[in-house]
Amino acid sequence: MSDAQDEVFCCDTLKSVVAELPEPVAPTIYRADNGVMMMVVGLAQTEEGLGYLDHAILHCPFCGTKLQDAKAIAEKVSH
Ligand SMILES: [Zn+2]
């Protein structure tokens, strides 16, 4: 992790939620390897183990700041 990660945090609340995750509890909000802020919205048991259903965060759930552009995310995420 580098200091550059702080750039995505618009407010202290979001930053604390991401930073103060208890281990080994799965993060509910995290930053993916491609730089997209993601939020886990559900868990699913699959044959390959516990699966996470996550969704990119477009706006901060705490202060409403626009964090990411849907188009930019679509370009980063490929399925
Ligand atoms: Zn915020």
Rounded to an integer, the average pLDDT of 46-73 is: 88
CA of 49 to the centre of ligand 1 (A): 32
pLDDT tens across 3-46, in order? 555 567 899 888 887 766 556 555 688 888 888 888 888 777 88
CA of 63 to the centre of ligand 1 (A): 4
Phi/psi zone of residue 62: left (φ > 0), alpha (ψ -120 to 50 degrees), beta?
A: alpha
Q: Which residues sit opposite 31 in a β-bridge?
A: 37
CA of 25 to the centre of ligand 1 (A): 22
65 vs 43: CA distance, rounded Å: 26
Closest alpha carbon to 67 in 79, 54, 57, 76: 57
